[in-house]
Chains A and B, each alone.
Chain A
Amino acid sequence: MTKHSEVVISVKGLRKVYRIGNEKVVALRQIDLDIHRGEICCILGTSGSGKSTLLNMMAGLEKPSKGTILIKSEAIEKMSEKQLAKFRQRNIGFIFQSYNLLSALTAIENVAMPLIFRGMPKALREKRAKKYLKMVGLGDRYHHKPTQMSGGQQQRVGIARAFVGTPEIVFADEPTGNLDTKTSIEVMHIMWRMAREKDQTIVIVTHDPEVALYADKVVNIRDGDIQSVEERPEDDVYEKFIKPYEESFITADDITEAASAAL
């Protein structure tokens, strides 16, 4: 991994303890992790292992009990709510498991939302939103409301919304959790393509082995500790899955098979 030299996210000695009454729940024990620019990093682990907790803290949605998180050399755990909101607006995109589109708004309005907060003029942001909807293959669904779309389509709107502001980092908590395998594979293709285009960093929490196939780095977490980190050569994913799938040499089933083989 020579190309990804710059560290974008650096987690040092991170610990998170939840207190419920007198009881303590140690969600994360001691996490040290570096994620480089342009990397697609997958955090893999069983339920309750602390994946979401780690992701939320990296996204600045939760404060660590101990340790520090540097994003672009800034310690985000020291920021105020106000600073964090601004920081997220400029640097971070977020994809949710349950899509979380605003139900009153159309696809195009949902995608344009982050741009509204940045104060981008309407004409410009609609153009941008349309471009991103086309990129996720929803060029014909601009004016559909979330309820008029399938889960896979909604998640693609969610992806367009996360990428539309070209943030340096996109966080995704189980983005394929509610989707079937084939749709999951399509969604991962889209995310991979988009991230590579602008050299964006993606951190994905998942327990889908298919999703993990698309990662440059797989971080295995168990009981709040990193168990192993697997790194792949830069073009590995492209050569093995992206290109063959796009050129129809392999099918979704082949990818599923590869995923179960990898386990």
Chain B
Amino acid sequence: MWDIITNALPQLIAAGLKYTIPIAIISFLIGLVLALLTALVRISKKGGAFYVLKAIVRFYVWLFRSTPLLVQLFIVYFGLPYLKISGLAPEGIKLTPLVAGILTFSLNTGAYCSETMRAAILSIPKGQWEAAYSIGMTRALALRRIILPQAIRVSLPPLANSFISLVKDTSLAASITIVEMFEVSQQIAAQNYQPLVMYCLVAALYAVACSLLSWLQGYLEKVTSRYVSNAN
């Protein structure tokens, strides 16, 4: 059994470093930007044309939160090539597996994280806004200097959870032909007829990665909560 493991491990780790981790990180970063923009639109007090934008953004969040990630991946990778838009994309929208994967993961995690960020922003007491307004801040400045720094601390644990979920969810990318870690484990299992060992091994690798992330989460929480601890 050691042989099996020592033979497979380098390939699995290579796939993890080449696909799983980069896909997770890139998608999460794009997702965070999307989430922040989405949350800001949703808490905005602007009216007029903003209502349309708000409606679009709400539809986006609803759509990605109420459909399975695997189905989303299939629609983007297998479905969009059949979406023929004359002028824009007469041949259908064909994305490479990697682009389709990152796009879908970003949109999905962005939808979830936007709810986290919106809730975090709304959880900051009204008095913080008022104190910021009182020293002459605009809404944008108050948000940037006073509200968001506090909201980020509040949203750190749920955002970290989202990231950890995303790392595991990247295994779904195997279904759209990306040779990430789980796909590699399947390929090896098909060759060495050791599915139990292979899948337990890949599970252990995910577990190690996620444990490291949990530890990092704990560290970040400690750093960002300097000012809430040791109250007297």
B and A form one assembly: no
Interface residues of B (CB under 8 A from A): none
Interface residues of A (CB under 8 A from B): none
